[in-house]
Amino acid sequence: MNKRGFSLLEIMIAVAILSGMALIINTTMTRSLTGKARVEKRDELLHTVRITLNKMTEDLSQAFLSNSTLKGQNSIYETGMKGTESKIDFSTLGHLHYQKDAKDTDQVTVGYGLAAGESDFQNLTRRESSRLSEKIDEGGREFVLLENVKAFKLSYYDSNKEEWVAEWDTSQVSNLNRLPQVVKIELTVVDREDEENSETGREYYFSTMAPVDLYQNEISF
């Protein structure tokens, strides 16, 4: 039986092998954890975008235009839609009641548009009033729905002309007392956490159609 033990050279070789194996394992685990975190960040961003587009679609699907009955004798309640390529305000039946006995109604005004953010990009905001008011593009509380928005574009389908238009205003002659049949929403969002594109971020483009169910008729309450 050889009781000589290990030589210094053998020990150094063994330590070098173990160190190499530990380095490989550590590198592999670090890459795996980094990749997992990046995927989770991306999924969180995409989930937020889906929620935002779903909320916009839900609000627009219940957009409405009332006749003179709801407006009252002095026409103090404005309903309808005012929209450009980057901003839209409209009356909708989509209000959710969160508090019991709250002084709010089903009929509210909602607005979506861009606002300056902390980064080089903008924020997509949503505004909602607690009830109808004299102007559909004023009043209510505004909050950020989505950050790092590079582009936000709206277009409106005119069922009479059978074409897409860049603006819509139910108080103007061209769209008087009419709502668009469909509103197209285009959105480009930047993932600033993407390491592969750390300087500019990775861009994600989304597009959806929001049908306006009550586009043909004015509502009579």
Q: Which DSSP helix (H) or strand (E) runs through 114?
A: strand 108-116
Q: At 94, is the secondary structure helix, strand, or coil?
A: coil
Contact partners, residue 28, CB within 8 Å, separation at least 6: none
Looking at residue 96, its pLDDT comes to: 66
pTM: 0.77
**Positions of the chain with pLDDT under 70:** 1-5, 33, 35-36, 68-75, 95-104, 193-200, 220-221
Looking at residue 9, its pLDDT comes to: 80
The answer to whether the beta carbons of residues 147 and 159 sit under 8 Å apart is no
Looking at residue 106, its pLDDT comes to: 76
Percentage above 70 pLDDT, the chain: 84
Distance CA 54, CA 11 (A): 64
Number of residues that make up the chain? 221
Looking at residue 98, its pLDDT comes to: 58
